[in-house]
Chain A
Amino acid sequence: MGFGPFLLLAVMEGLVSAAVLALTAVGLSLVFGVMRVVNVAHGAFFMLGAVVAWFVAGHVAGPPVWGWLAALVVAPLVVGALAALVDISVLKRLNYEPEAVIVATIGVLYILEQAALMSFGPDARPVAAPFTLRLQLPWFGYSGYKLFVVVAAAAVLAGVWLLMARTRFGLLMRATQVDRNTARAFGINVDRVYAGTFALGAALAAVAAVLVVPISQVHYLMGADPLLLAFITVIIGGLGSLRGTLVAALVIGLSDGVISMFWSPTLSKIIATLLVALVLVFRPQGLFGAKA
């Protein structure tokens, strides 16, 4: 295969990465934007979504599409509910103090990972894709499901934007983001908004996991890479900026896909992590974030 088609393949792979990454990162970005805390367990919620998806798909009889659809509904609900529980029982008690939340969510991360290890086991297990369609291009065949992932992610992101911009809950979220105390003074139940936001962030990560699981496999440590990449995306895009997150996801997903194809994936990760550190040091507001 010539260089051109190889590059096209890398770009398409990158687009798929970008789509999943955008979905994962948006959840993290929302939580930071509205609640001003960093959820280190975000990757664990992602992994949990995948585990629930595997479980649900394994229990639904018939063609894989039914299992997958069921997972798409159940996983975000389960993970979202669990996240709300974590928020109410732990984060609220810490009064959302940023550094305490970090330590606590590190603990939650360990708990969730080890719980998955105990129940799911240390092996990696596959989940069947809902459909197997092969797109035949002149140079190579490409999985139709992967392209579907891109479309689906875009749809979900559009839904999130609609939620933020057009619904009442979105308005409450934005109001609380601007000024927590004023929101409270206006009668907004900030605790409920926070629980809802935290649940939504986790649920979005779960959706991303359900989408990605037929492409890769379910493993109890699979949340680590998405967490790192989501962090990178959110910071470069600008903490709290949805648009920035999307742009950054596109840039990072594409370049990660391209670099991983031509050089070592480890190298691309090294570059990405150093880039995040430098962005935080020299341009802390990222691409689109507001200057503090």
Chain B
Amino acid sequence: MKVWLFHLAVLVALAVLALMLPAYHANNLARILMLAVFATGYNLAFGYTGMLSLGHALFFAAGMYGAALPVSLWGLGALPGLALGFLAGGAVAAAVGLLALRTAGVSFMIVTLMFAQAGYLTVIYFNQTTGGDQGIVLSGAGRMLAGLDMTQDGPRLMVALGLYAAGLLAALALVQSRFGRVMLAMRENEERSRMLGYDPFRVKLAVLAISGLYAGVAGAGYALLFGYAGAGFSGVQYSILPMLYSLMGGAGTVLGPLIGAGAMFYLIDIASGLTTAYLMGVGIALVVLVLFAPRGILGWVRERVLPWLP
């Protein structure tokens, strides 16, 4: 019970923060929240179930274009756009999973990376429709969600917060459920889990599809909130970022991805003020994390201070 209260308190604190922040940071927070949704879903597969995927950019892009294309081509509204992106992410993840989950470990990582690369190249190849690297700018009905005009800072942040809250609470429910225990079991000892009657393929496929749903809604949300969809979001960087956020914030904790997203966002923000080579920060962060702090920020907290943190 205190777990739920804790997380609700975090959400309330976020809402308060949202109201108080000046415009620049409020917009940053909106981006951070959408990236956190993406990373929360990724973390379900990576941190909780032990699947190292480098293909999530594909699911993010599926959500992004799944919303952006209908909105810009056929004038679809924001809510159906979000729904389509949500489903697109999940469907693509399930399709990839059907093939990729026949492999494991390093091979799984390479297969997912290859599918994501093929996706990126396909977006470039069909740049007549997708706008390629230039991308598509969205406007009109697609930027209005249930009366909220997402071209304005305030409503945009509210939508982002709403989406993150939904994602967080859903993840918490999943992780605390019996299935959540099975996810951990797959990560900890797959052979043992098989001999307890669990089908590794089915469990991992379900988790991958769920993480795809998260990626899809995050991609769709990102496009609709900020009015832009571009090929850059399907590049390998967007497969690496959710992994980095999860590692930094604490893989295997529900709130970790948000912390990691926020920390990295501001680290990069500060670094890009100093040099054009700000991605160096990403590189250094990855190496340092994997060497010295594989449990991440919240992982450390859970070990020392709050052992009941999910």
Contacts and interface: CB of A to CB of B under 8 A. Distances in A.
Interface in A100-139: 100, 102-104, 106-115, 117-118, 122
A104 B124 CA distance: 29
A113 B107 contact: no
A139 to B, nearest CB: 31
A100 B293 CA distance: 12
A111 B277 CA distance: 9
A99 B290 CA distance: 10
B128 interface: no
A107 B286 contact: yes
A263 B45 CA distance: 38
B114 A274 contact: yes
A99 B286 contact: no
Sorting the interface of chain A by its residue count into under 10, 10 to 19, 20 to 34 or 35 or more gives 35 or more
Interface string B265-276: 000000000011
B280 A115 contact: yes
B275 A118 contact: yes
Contacts of A281: 99-100, 102-103, 111
Interface string B101-124: 011011101110011011001101
Interface centre among A90, A106, A109, A276 (most CB of B within 10 A): A106
B138 interface: no
Contact of A110 (B105, B117, B279): B279
Nearest to B96: A277
Given A115-B280, A266-B125, A100 B114 contact: no
B52 interface: yes
Contacts of A284: 103, 107
B284 interface: yes
A64 interface: no
B243 interface: yes
Contacts of B118: 270, 273-274, 277
Interface string A269-285: 11001101110111010
Contacts, number: 115
B287 interface: yes
Contact of B117 (A118, A273, A278, A280): A273
A291 interface: no
B125 A280 contact: no
B279 A114 contact: yes
A99 B52 contact: yes
A230 to B, nearest CB: 12
Nearest to B124: A266
Contacts of B275: 118
Contacts of A122: 276
A281 B102 CA distance: 6
A30 B276 CA distance: 35
Interface string A245-281: 0000000000000000000101101100110111011
Given A107-B290, A270-B121, A235 B277 contact: no
Given A99-B52, A102-B106, A90 B280 contact: no
Interface in B115-150: 115, 117-118, 121-122, 124-125
B80 interface: no
B184 interface: no
A235 B111 CA distance: 10
A94 interface: yes
Interface of B: 52, 99-100, 102-103, 105-107, 109-111, 114-115, 117-118, 121-122, 124-125, 240, 243, 247, 275-280, 282-291, 294
Given A100-B294, A274-B118, A281-B102, 13 more contacts: A100-B290, A103-B247, A103-B289, A110-B283, A114-B280, A114-B283, A118-B275, A270-B118, A270-B122, A276-B111, A278-B99, A280-B107, A284-B103
7 contacts: A99-B52, A109-B283, A114-B278, A235-B110, A273-B114, A278-B99, A281-B99
The 5 A-B pairs of least Cβ separation, nearest first, read: A110-B283, A107-B286, A114-B280, A107-B287, A111-B283
